[in-house]
Chain A
Amino acid sequence: MLILKNIKKNYQNLVAVDNLSFEVSDGEIFGLLGENGAGKTTTFRMIMGLLEPNNGTISLDGKKIDYSTIDKIGFVTEERSLLTKLTVKEQILYYGSLKGMSNSEILKKLDYWLDKFGIKDYENKKIKELSKGNQQKIQFISAVINEPKLLILDEPFTGLDPINVKMLKDAIYELKEKGTSIIFSSHQMEYIEEFCEKLVILVKGKTILEGYLEDIKNSYGIKKILLNVLDYDVEKLSKIKGVKTINKKRDYYEINIDNESVVDLIFKEIKKYKVLKFDAKKPTLNDIFIEKVGGYHE
């Protein structure tokens, strides 16, 4: 289990991370969200022991993370951190050895992962000769070759097509099943929604939202109705108190509302007509993110 307690990091006069606390249990996927410059990379670097926090503690399985425990952590950086002149095999042997593994152990695991990702033929190819998607797979393999206890994934799906995204998703679920704690960061909210049970949203180093995703969504209630009614002017609904905006989509209307009580008022109004679509939706994580983070820019 990873525990961050009251972490603070300053760069001269700038507070990069301010009093950040969270826990990631074994086999749990945790989302760390924020805009660029919110403090995510600094947090990752502190977890990896690359930076020393000015305040607070970070522990993995009850031990302070240092160079004696670091071999249990895997890290997929946002930008590809591969030595492109090396072959796939050389690269994985290099990173695996740095994690204290033996060559035979590394090669056995490399064989498994290359096979799983369908790129076994690329073992002796130079990384610079691979496509971006395959380079990303190699980066992922280099991070999981040591079967990490904690895996940090910073934008792991960048540059991947849907088929490769699915492959990587399956791999992440496999690791979760094996009990790996995973911290996941992405600007693509649909991935966070799909993967993460718990999350933290950072703005300028400060935590503005944290908790279980389901609880957060529930606390927001229903904020949107997707509607398609025959022979009815949907714009009339704007007269109902609590209706904020009505947006025309391709074959339905999106009605943003203040709270759940408005759902009943709208339903009463349209039930006399032929309703083709009526979908009262909880906000997506994207909606919540825009609302929370956007609020800090106003």
Chain B
Amino acid sequence: MNKKLRFLTKTSLLKKIKSKWFIGINILILIIIVGILNIDSIISFFGGDFSNNLEVVVIDKTEEVYDIFKANIDSSKEVLDSDNSIKIKKSNKSEKELKKKLDDKILIVLKSSPEEYLTAKVISKKKIDAIDYQLITSALSSTKYNYGLIKTNIDIEKLKMISSEMKIDRVVLDKDSKSAADNMDTIMGTVFPTIILPFFMLVIFLVQMIGSEIYEEKSSRSMEIIISSVSPKVHFISKIISSNLFAIIQGTLLISYGAIGLIVKNNISTSSSSSITSMFSTLWTTLVESGFVDKLYYIIPITLLLLLLSFFAYSLVAGILASMTVNMEDYQQIQTPIMLVSLLSYYLAIMAGVFDGSTFIKVLSYVPFISCLLSPALLVIEQISIVDVLISIAVLLIFNIFIFRHGMGIYKEGILNYSNEKVWSKFKKIIKNKN
């Protein structure tokens, strides 16, 4: 029987990954992921916003601030991580004269003011791009600040000390209290959703894959031949294993596509500030500072275990539901609640911090299908302990065993049922008889 199980699993898996659709869709996904990660270079290639060659003409009526402004433009570029090339030029011509031949240039008129120290007029023919405008305003503000300091004779060093951020030595005596690390917000806001997004995609793949395969065998009546050679249990297990293996392969491919996209970005990107090394270095510093890295040694295995058990739970339920349906439309409808639960789990995990450790969210973190994403999220922000996550794993394990044992009867009857009549009462009876 093991030989037949191996054969069915292998055949089912190869059928999925050898199909032209799988190859085609994966090429498309690869292109999309690499494209998204390199969208700036693509836009730049086509002469888009990212490669703006901005030309700024400055009329400095103060005769003092042009060089300061020019220096501030460069430092603002660095701060804003802008790749834009800005050409700055001082002009002695009148505003009226320059306005006539402005074209794509930006004209900045700097004037001293008794109250404001420095005022500026920014003139352009068209609306200025938001990033460019931010860059200019940032440089102008800094210029005003520097000009003000010069005019008022304030000691720059002293002013820096006064206006610098207060040094706080924070000591938390209660070890279980919520971590105050600000970087955690960054992790929950950006890193975590990115990591769990592929899981959400894989659940969709998994549910549709297992359903369509069972439906295909059922609708072509080849199910009768298959089930007359292997038991429904072996058949079901083979579908679960092959679908989960497929999900793992697809997941690995998605991660690889991401890596390829980043490598491509690193090789074609011209800006040193946006290089992959610098990006990862910044991210790593954030993770280390937040204390997230110290927790990885238990967060990673626990999350993987939860994900794996959840994959099984999703495929068990999808397989049982697929066996009950007699046409594809029914299956499409019946899988909607599974998708919604998966979506709910995704959003709850992203917004985990908002709930501020409420009992409700803690209870939800034990619920199968939701726990896989919510539990690790709550664990990262220390709203639940590792014991809570172990409870989630135990609940998921019991759920899977329960669904497999009780769902097997439904699956056995379902795969040979071709009638839509009283379908729910039929399956209710099967469960009742089993009990």
Contacts and interface: CB of A to CB of B under 8 A. Distances in A.
Interface of A: 12, 45, 48-51, 67, 70-71, 73, 75, 77, 79-84, 94-95, 97-100, 142
Interface string B31-54: 000000000000000000000000
Contacts of A83: 216-217, 220, 222
A155 B76 CA distance: 82
Given A71-B229, A77-B225, A98-B4, 5 more contacts: A48-B228, A49-B228, A51-B416, A75-B228, A83-B222
A67 B221 contact: no
Contacts of A70: 228-229
A171 B220 CA distance: 25
Nearest to B416: A50
A51 to B, nearest CB: 8
Given A50-B416, A70-B228, A99-B229, A80 B221 contact: yes
B433 to A, nearest CB: 10
B392 to A, nearest CB: 37
Interface in B1-16: 1, 3-4, 7-8, 11
A71 B225 CA distance: 11
A84 B228 contact: no
A146 B1 CA distance: 17
Contacts, number: 57
A246 to B, nearest CB: 46
Contacts of B7: 97-98
B166 to A, nearest CB: 70
Contacts of B67: none
A196 B11 CA distance: 39
Given A67-B231, A100-B4, A81 B224 contact: yes
Contact of A81 (B4, B8, B220): B220
Contacts of A98: 4, 7-8, 225-226, 229-230
Contacts of B226: 98
Contacts of A50: 224, 227-228, 416
A193 B416 CA distance: 31
Interface string B196-227: 00000000000000000000110011111111
Nearest to B230: A98
Nearest to A127: B220
A82 B221 CA distance: 7
Nearest to A98: B229
Interface in B226-252: 226-231
A11 B227 CA distance: 20
B121 interface: no
A178 to B, nearest CB: 21
B328 to A, nearest CB: 15
Contact of A67 (B3, B217, B220, B230): B230
10 contacts: A12-B429, A50-B227, A50-B416, A80-B220, A81-B220, A81-B223, A83-B220, A95-B229, A98-B230, A100-B3
A77 B3 contact: no
B216 A94 contact: no
Nearest to A91: B222
Interface of B: 1, 3-4, 7-8, 11, 216-217, 220-231, 416, 429
B3 A73 contact: no
B415 to A, nearest CB: 9
Contacts of B429: 12
B229 A81 contact: no
Of B11, B229, B231, the most chain A CB neighbours within 10 A belong to: B229
A83 B215 CA distance: 12
B137 to A, nearest CB: 61
A77 B222 CA distance: 9
Contacts of B221: 77, 79-81
Nearest to A79: B221
Nearest to B412: A50
B228 to A, nearest CB: 4
A82 B220 contact: yes
Q: Give the residue among B7, B223, B224, B231 with the most A Cβ atoms within 10 A.
A: B224
A54 B217 CA distance: 27
Interface core residue of B3, B11, B222, B416 (most chain A CB under 10 Å): B222
Nearest to A146: B229
A12 to B, nearest CB: 7
Contacts of B227: 50
Contact of B225 (A84, A95, A100): A95
Contacts of B216: 83
A94 to B, nearest CB: 6
B324 to A, nearest CB: 16
Contacts of B228: 48-50, 70, 73, 75
Interface centre among B11, B220, B225 (most CB of A within 10 A): B225
Nearest to B231: A67
Given A50-B416, A98-B230, A84 B224 contact: no
B220 to A, nearest CB: 6
B230 A81 contact: no
B237 to A, nearest CB: 14
Contacts of B8: 98
Nearest to A67: B231
A144 B42 CA distance: 59
A127 B324 CA distance: 27
B65 to A, nearest CB: 74
B236 to A, nearest CB: 14
Nearest to A85: B216
A110 to B, nearest CB: 16
A45 B229 contact: no
Contacts of A81: 220-225
Contacts of B220: 80-84
Contacts of A73: 228
A71 B229 CA distance: 6
A50 B221 CA distance: 13
